[in-house]
Amino acid sequence: MAILEVNDINVYYGSIHAIKGVSFEVNEGEIISLIGANGAGKTTILQTVSNLLHSKTGSIKFMDEEIHNLPAHKLVPMGLAQVPEGRRVFSQMSVEENLELGAFTRPKANIKEDMEEIFERFPRLKERRRQLAGTLSGGEQQMLAMGRAMMSKPKLLMLDEPSMGLAPILIEEIFDIIKSLNERGTTILLVEQNAQMALSIADRGYVLETGKIVTSADAKTLLNDDVVRKAYLGG
C-alpha cells in the first residue's frame, strides 16, 4: 500500500522551473532512494512534500489524504518527518532540547523514555546531552538531526543527503541506523548523491535529472544498469 503518492508536481523558484512533472510513490515498509546529481531537484522535492515549498499542480497524498494544501506543521503529527539537508539542528540549543523539540507535537508523550531510546541508538549524543548542538561535529549533528526526527515517531522518514560531508566510516554507521529503523517499521525516503550507498540499502530507486525522473526500478536493477553506473556510480 502506498504511504506517499506524489503525482505530477511542478515547483518553481520565481521563473526557474525546478521540478517538472514529477510523480513517484513510496509503499509502506519500503526504503526508497531518490538519487541525482547536485542541483537535480532532490531537496526541492522533499521540501515540497513537507509543504515548505508548494507545487503549482498535481497532488501529494500521505496515507491516502491530500496534504498539499495543509500548513507544514500539520504534517508532523500525521507521521511525516524530515531530516533536512545540512542537518539544521538548533545550534543555540542543547542536544536534549533539540530532541525535545522533535517531540513537540506529542506533548503528552513520555519524552524522557523516548529520549533514552535515542541515546541507546546514539551513545555519543548521550555523552553530549547538555552540550549546545552547534558545538557538535558534523557526524554528531547528523545523528542529532535523525534522533530529533525520530522523536516525532514518524511513519515515513525522509532524509536529505545524510551522508553529506561525513567520513566513510560514519556514513556506514548512519546507513546501518537507517536500515535498522526500517526493520523496526519506519518507511524511508532517502535522498542521496551517494548513489552506491543509497541503492545498496534501498528496495527501489528513482533517478532524477534536472527536475525530471528519468529512470525508476528495483535498487538491484539500477545498481547494474549501464547508464546509471556511468552517470552515478563512477562507471
Ligand X SMILES: Nc1ncnc2c1ncn2[C@@H]1O[C@H](COP(=O)(O)OP(=O)(O)O)[C@@H](O)[C@H]1O
Interaction site with ligand X (CB under 6 A) = 13, 16, 18, 36, 38-44
Q: Pick out residues in 48-67 that bind other proteins (CB under 8 A).
A: 50, 52
Task: Give the shortest CB-47-to-ligand X separation in angstroms.
Answer: 7
CA distance linking residue 76 with residue 65, whole number of Å: 14
Site string (65-84) toward other proteins, x via CB under 8 A: ------xxxxxxx---xx-x
Q: Considering the rule CB under 5 A, would residue 33 count as an interface residue with Mg ion?
A: no
The minimum distance between CB 178 and other proteins, in angstroms, equals: 18
Please select the residue that binds Mg ion; options are 3, 35, 43, 157, rule is CB under 5 A: 43
- Residue 25 is placed in which grid cell? 510513490
The answer to whether residue 97 forms part of the interface with other proteins (CB under 8 A) is yes
Q: Per CB under 8 A, which of residues 167..226 are in contact with other proteins?
A: none
DSSP state of 57: S
Shortest Å distance, C-beta 222 to other proteins: 28
91 lines the binding site for other proteins (CB under 8 A): yes
Exposure b/e, 198-232, CB count within 10 A at least 16 = b: bbebbbbbbbbeebebebbbebeebbebeebeebb
- Binding at 185: pick from Mg ion, ligand X, other proteins, none (beta carbon under 5-8 Å per type): none
Spell out, one character per residue from 110 to 149, where the chain touches other proteins: x when CB under 8 A holds, - when not. ------------------------x-------------xx
Q: How far out from the chain centre does Cα 195 lie?
A: 14
Number of residues that bind Mg ion (CB under 5 A): 3
CB of 107 or CB of 234, closer to other proteins? 107
Shortest spacing between CB 223 and other proteins, in angstroms: 31
Asked if residues 154 and 146 have their Cβ atoms less than 8 Å apart, the reply is no
Spatial distance between the Cα atoms of 152 and 175, rounded to a whole number of angstroms: 20
Q: Shortest CA distance to 177 belongs to which of 166, 167, 188?
A: 188
Helix axes 95-102, 138-150, angle to 10 degrees: 30
In the complex with other proteins, the residue whose CB is nearer, 50 or 187, is 50
Instruction: Return the number of the residue (96 or 192) whose C-beta is nearest ligand X.
Output: 192
CA distance 11 to 9: 7
Cα dist from 130 to 20, 93, 95, 112, 136, whole Å: 44, 9, 6, 14, 11
- Residues that bind Mg ion in the complex, under the rule CB under 5 A: 42-43, 85
